[in-house]
Amino acid sequence: MTDQSEEVGYRVLDRVAYVTIDRPQRRNSLSLAVMARLVEIFAEVNIDDEIWAVLLTGAGDKAFCAGADLKELDDRARAGIRFVPPMAGPERNLFETVLETYKPVVAAVNGPCLAGGAELALACDLRIAAEHAFLGLPEAKRGMGANFASVILPRLIPRAIALEMLYMGEPIQAAEAQRLGLYNRVVPAAALADEAERYVRGIVANAPLTLRRYKEMVTKGWELPVATALRLSVGPNPYLSEDREEGIRAFVEKRAPKWSGR
């Protein structure tokens, strides 16, 4: 299946949804139209049982995503159009939508990852980055708010480090992002596409119901007490699935499992 809008590439191949922000001339910045299209895509991914994982990236190698399209925001301000704060608009917030997509979402961070682009990467489950892909939240230098990052970042790294990144607005290099756990892997830029493909294929080789179960349990149980989270039981139940029987039988018979998603 292939669907190509003007500035967002979207195709599904062998259980993986490939999503590409395709605005290299604008450093893959997030225009209102691009954000709306991404929300549509991730909403579709969430309910399509043929999709087991998502690989999100940007076009080219100059930027994964430079954040909001500041020229568009300036043009709208000059035209007297009021800015709608995050979580207050008529559509779902992009970062929340990605975070709550109950399939594994991998970001292939192909270049600098800034402001809303950093928030988009942080909304993904896993991040594999090129060596030149520094990450930063310069909103304090622009009078913006980094609403999503101010909530999610202190949950991912130590609070003091998160606050330093937010207060200072200075980027961190890829190696430091990996040390902090914000990037899972850092690879040479020339190897990123192949490594990201191997990475996501390693995920979808596993049982799809188990993958979705993990995502829902981790997301919905994040801030719950342990005793409560252990009894949460959200998402599909892999313990009662045909795939559980198939996975065990394939192991016993020393062959690759054939998952049905049932």
Q: Give the model confidence (pLDDT) of 168-210 as tens digits.
A: 999 999 999 999 999 999 999 999 999 999 999 999 999 999 9
- Looking at the fold, whether 181 and 235 belong to one and the same domain comes out as no
Does residue 261 lie in a domain region?
A: no
- Looking at the fold, whether 198 and 239 belong to one and the same domain comes out as no
Domain tally, the chain: 2
Phi, psi of 45, rounded to the nearest 5 degrees: -55, -40
Does residue 84 lie in a domain region?
A: yes
pLDDT at residue number 166: 97
Q: Which two tokens stand for residue 74?
A: 């300036």
Number of helices (H), then strands (E), belonging to the chain: the values are: 12, 9
- Looking at the fold, whether 123 and 238 belong to one and the same domain comes out as no
- Looking at the fold, whether 117 and 240 belong to one and the same domain comes out as no
Instruction: Decide if 216 contacts 154 (C-beta within 8 A).
Output: no
Q: Which two tokens stand for residue 194?
A: 């192949």
Task: Give the residue numbers annotated as catalytic, written as ranges.
Answer: 119, 139
Does residue 72 lie in a domain region?
A: yes
What amino acid occupies position 109?
A: V
Which residues, 6+ apart, have CB-to-CB distance to 181 below 8 Å?
Answer: 156, 157
Chain centroid, CA 116 distance in Å: 12
- Looking at the fold, whether 194 and 212 belong to one and the same domain comes out as no
- Looking at the fold, whether 221 and 243 belong to one and the same domain comes out as yes
Using one digit for the tens of pLDDT, what is the confidence trace for 109-158?
999 999 999 999 999 999 999 999 999 999 999 888 899 999 999 999 99
- Looking at the fold, whether 170 and 231 belong to one and the same domain comes out as no
pLDDT at residue number 4: 42
Q: How many CA atoms lie within 13 A of 98 on its CB side?
A: 26
Instruction: Supply the DSSP symbol for 28.
Output: T
- Looking at the fold, whether 52 and 101 belong to one and the same domain comes out as yes
Domain that holds residue 224: 208-252
What is the rounded CA–CA span in Å between residue 47 and residue 210?
A: 16
- Looking at the fold, whether 216 and 148 belong to one and the same domain comes out as no
